A and B are shown apart, each in its own frame.
Chain A
Amino acid sequence: GAGVSQSPRYKVAKRGQDVALRCDPISGHVSLFWYQQALGQGPEFLTYFQNEAQLDKSGLPSDRFFAERPEGSVSTLKIQRTQQEDSAVYLCASSRRTSSYEQYFGPGTRLTVT
């Protein structure tokens, strides 16, 4: 079946622009995670949804970052007033049930802020 998909795959934004990154999880997967991966580093947790509820947003680096999953399937990560330090790969992952299950990762969105 289809895996986790993300769009766009690449995004170039000028500093100060707002961006929206989309994640389509595997159908029926309850949990959805967003991670940020800087160049040469391991991913870092941003936020976690169980269905439409955002249960953990402690990893969001500032109030410019906002995530939603209004119907419990597709999720959007929005970054307002982008800064150069926001340049990274943003990874989405989903898991079948709770966060204790294996996570399936999307291909990521590479964001470059110029």
Chain B
Amino acid sequence: KNEVEQSPQNLTAQEGEFITINCSYSVGISALHWLQQHPGGGIVSLFMLSSGKKKHGRLIATINIQEKHSSLHITASHPRDSAVYICAVKETSGSRLTFGEGTQLTVNP
């Protein structure tokens, strides 16, 4: 069992739909990251959070430390949101990030 699991693995939506991507983890963490990766490999950090909720534009990230679960929401999705979304956790001990396998999101016009 991976330490970080994401669901779904693949998600196809129509433009304008509300999207949710889930991340569950099994280790104690000091922070959780949501990352966006476009074709060609470039990774952009969307959020880093350790509690509660953060919002940036149409993106919202929430985390429940007790349940070891985080969600990434996209409101009013757009084709340019099509990318791989990756959840990564920073364990309380150590320096490394542990990544989920990513969720491939495709938003059709």
Q: A: which residues have CB within 8 A of B?
A: 31, 33, 35, 37, 40-45, 48, 55-56, 58-59, 89, 91, 93, 99-100, 102-105, 107-108, 110
Contact = CB atoms under 8 A, between A and B. Distances in A.
Contact of A42 (B30, B31, B90, B101): B101
A55 B24 CA distance: 28
B42 A105 contact: yes
22 contacts: A33-B96, A35-B97, A35-B99, A41-B101, A42-B99, A42-B100, A44-B99, A56-B94, A56-B96, A59-B96, A89-B41, A91-B43, A93-B43, A99-B96, A100-B90, A102-B48, A103-B33, A103-B97, A104-B45, A105-B43, A107-B40, A108-B43
A43 B99 contact: yes
